[in-house]
Amino acid sequence: MSITNYTNLQSTIADYLNRDDLTSVIPVFIQLAEAQMNRDIRHYEMEARSTGVQDAGDEYMQVPSTWLENIRAHVQGGGTTPLDLISRAAMADKRAGQEDTSGRPEYYCMADGQFQLYPTPDAEYTVELLFYEKIPALATNSTNWLLEEHPDVYLYGSLIHSAPYLAEDERATIWTQLYAAAAKRVIDSSEQARMSGSGLTLKVRGLG
């Protein structure tokens, strides 16, 4: 059976395990595999952009619901300028004794599940994020780009999480090795796609 959607992925997992009594837990194996893949894999298919207006006086910016990791952030208008990521300690140092400093934001850090900006915006600013987003969950999507292009990652990733449930530690090593090799191929395919073609010229520019 070819693996093309959520339903036949579940059937294939059951076939590999030679079990027909795991209907209720196989979706959990897949969910756990997706959590692991979101930690392990970065691919151009996961790149997304989000643009929003940050209000004057609001130093905290909401994170997109599908956000995993920033690639870069810019403030638009009057010439696009980058937002530089700093540590929370560095943010605290900048705000020490200057809590009310306002202006065009130049720095940000992660704080309480949001992006904290510095200086605090003194006007409305449009901020654009280029970021890695989560792989669309199969529980709410019949398929996604990763399952269609790399079904082995889903299969072996799910089988890894079946091993503790079934107390099959010896099989966990096999599934882990197969998953790791498949995940590496996904990452390598992204890098190859970025660098494919002839006469490639690298430029760093603001997003328009």
Q: Where are the domains of the chain?
A: 6-41+135-194, 45-133
pLDDT tens, position by position, 96-148: 877 678 999 999 999 999 999 999 999 999 999 999 999 999 999 999 999 99
Mean pLDDT within 76-89: 93
- Interatomic CA distance for residues 169 and 154, integer angstroms: 19
* DSSP assignment string, 33-90: HHHHHHHH---GGGEEEEEEEEPTT--EEPPPTTEEEEEEEEEESSS-EEPEE--HHH
The predicted structure's pLDDT at residue 205: 45
The pTM for the full model equals 0.86
The first and second tokens of residue 4, run together, are 């093309």
pLDDT tens, position by position, 174-184: 999 999 999 99
